[in-house]
């Protein structure tokens, strides 16, 4: 059976954060750290590599994850966020390398951007691996066997703290990417490949901010509440 991995654009929609106050707060936080508007170039290079169906029509998912079963939320984060993100970051590092190699002499900041994208990928690859195996598996165990008492349970709170610290580092790298690219605005003379890079970086930033919000403000607090209830 073929596994269909959603695109980043679909994943952004699939996060499903639809509470008005929550969305307003998220936009306000983004506005403070990310001045300007996202603009996505229509230009598309035939040499820019596959885009994970980014141009497809996204499917909206406005589920209220505050009340959904925790196991469903974990499955959603894995399928709608982690998998497309890992695939997109692999392609973006190659794309950033290509653009920097071609235009780095004219725009030295492209070398810094390439290093930043590579650093973001390195952090997130390790981070996603640990979340899948050291956080989500323990959360699912808490759901299916609430009376269990293991060392993993005792370590979960500490691991979640490490994950949120990683999230802070990711936010710093996203802010650096936005600053380096002047809000993902390519030069007027930029080729389609150059514009595609900025377009996809903008989508990744937006998707990541929604993803981190879903984990920091919904998934992790709900998981920690399971530990608190078990202790009482």
**Which CA distances in Å does 77 have to 15, 37, 83, 193, 210?**
8, 26, 9, 30, 11
Q: Look up tokens 């699912």; give the residue.
A: 140
Task: Check residue 174 and give its pLDDT.
Answer: 97
Q: 191 or 52: whose pLDDT is higher?
A: 191
- pTM of full prediction above 0.85: no
pLDDT at 66: 80
For residues 54 and 7, the answer to whether their CB atoms sit within 8 Å is yes
C-alpha–C-alpha distance, residues 169 and 42, integer Å: 31
CA atoms within a 13 Å half-sphere pointing along the CA-CB vector of 136 = 18
- Average pLDDT of the segment spanning 153-176: 92
Residue 9 in this model has a pLDDT that exceeds 70:
no
- Residue 62, pLDDT > 60, answer no
For residue 87, what pLDDT band results from cuts at 50, 70 and 90? confident
What residues contact residue 118 under an 8 Å CB cut-off, 6+ apart? 93, 96
Residue 207, both tokens: 């998707």
Please tell me which residue, 181 or 80, carries the higher pLDDT value: 181
The number of residues making up the chain comes to: 232
- Residues near 213 by Cβ (< 8 Å), separated by ≥ 6? 17, 22, 26
Q: What is the mean pLDDT of the chain?
A: 76
Indicate if the pLDDT at residue 56 is higher than 80.
Answer: no
């Amino acid at each position: 059976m073929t596994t269909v991995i959603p695109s980043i654009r679909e994943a952004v929609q699939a996060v499903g954060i639809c509470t008005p106050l929550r969305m307003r707060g998220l936009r306000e936080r983004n506005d403070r750290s990310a001045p300007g508007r996202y603009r996505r170039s229509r230009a598309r290079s035939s040499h820019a590599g596959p885009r994970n169906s980014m141009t497809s029509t996204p499917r909206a998912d406005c589920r209220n994850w505050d009340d959904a079963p925790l196991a469903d939320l974990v499955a959603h984060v894995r399928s709608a966020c982690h998998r497309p993100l890992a695939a997109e970051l692999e392609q973006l590092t190659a794309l950033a390398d290509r653009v920097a190699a071609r235009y780095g002499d004219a725009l030295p900041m492209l070398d810094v951007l390439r290093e930043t994208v590579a650093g973001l990928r390195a952090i997130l690859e390790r981070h996603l691996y640990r979340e899948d195996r050291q956080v989500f598996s323990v959360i699912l165990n808490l759901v299916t066997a609430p009376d269990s008492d293991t060392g993993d349970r005792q370590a979960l709170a500490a691991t979640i703290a490490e994950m949120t610290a990683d999230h802070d580092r990711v936010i710093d790298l996203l802010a650096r990417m936005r600053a380096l690219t002047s809000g993902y605005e390519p030069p007027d003379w930029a080729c389609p490949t150059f514009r595609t890079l900025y377009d996809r970086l903008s989508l990744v930033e937006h998707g990541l901010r929604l993803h981190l919000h879903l984990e920091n403000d919904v998934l992790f607090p709900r998981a920690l509440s399971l530990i608190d209830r078990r202790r009482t």
